[in-house]
Amino acid sequence: MCIRDRYRPNAKFLREIFLKLGQNYHERVLPSISNEVLKAVIARYNADQLLTQRERVSLEIKKEMLIRAKDFNIIIDDVAITELTFGDVFTRAIEGKQIAQQNAE
| Tens digits of residue pLDDT in 74-86 | 999 999 888 777 7
Averaged pLDDT score across all residues of the chain: 88
What is the number of alpha carbons within 13 Å of residue 94 lying toward its C-beta? 10
d(CA 97, CA 14): 53
pLDDT for position 17: 94
Please state the pTM of the whole predicted model: 0.74
pLDDT for position 65: 95
Read off the pLDDT band of 12 (50, 70, 90).
very high
CA distances, 14 to each of 6, 18, 31, 89 (Å): 17, 6, 20, 47
